[in-house]
Amino acid sequence: MRNREPPKRPSSTIPVASTLSCLEPRRTHPEVAARDGYEIVHATFSRLQPGFKAIDEHLSGINLPKIALCGVELRSPRPLSLKDFSAFNGSYVDVLKSWGLLLDAAVNPVARTNVAPVLFPPPEPSFYGFSYTVRSATPRKTFIVAGAGEFGDLSRNLTDIIRRGDTSQAAITEKTRYVTGVMGGKLRAMGANWPDVTTINFYAAHELSEALQASALV
Query: 69-110 pLDDT, tens per residue?
Result: 999 999 999 987 778 878 888 889 899 999 999 887 677 889
Count CA within 13 A, CB hemisphere, residue 196: 20
> pLDDT at residue 7 above 50?
no
pLDDT in tens, 28-43: 556 788 888 999 999 9
List, as own/partner pairs, every contact residues 202-208 make where C-beta atoms lie below 8 angstroms and the sequence separation is at least 24, other chains included.
Answer: 203/115, 203/147, 204/172, 204/176, 205/118, 206/167, 206/172, 207/172, 208/172, 208/176
pTM flag (> 0.95): no
What's the pLDDT tens digit per position in 152-193? 655 566 667 888 888 888 888 888 888 888 888 777 776 677
Q: What is the pLDDT of residue 161?
A: 81
The arithmetic mean of pLDDT across residues 39-67, rounded, is: 95
pLDDT of residue 95: 93
88, containing H or E segment: helix 82-98
Q: What is the pLDDT of residue 1?
A: 28
Q: Which helix (H) or strand (E) holds 16?
A: none
Domains, the chain, with CATH or none: 1-147 (3.30.1330.170), 150-218 (no CATH)
Task: Look at residue 32 in the predicted model and tell me its pLDDT.
Answer: 82
Of the pLDDT bands very low, low, confident and very high (cuts 50, 70, 90), residue 22 is very low
Q: Which residue has the higher pLDDT, 67 or 216?
A: 67
70: CB partners within 8 A, 6+ apart: 32, 34, 40, 109, 110, 111, 131, 132, 133, 144
> Per-residue pLDDT tens for 99-151?
999 887 677 889 898 899 999 999 999 999 999 999 999 888 888 887 777 87
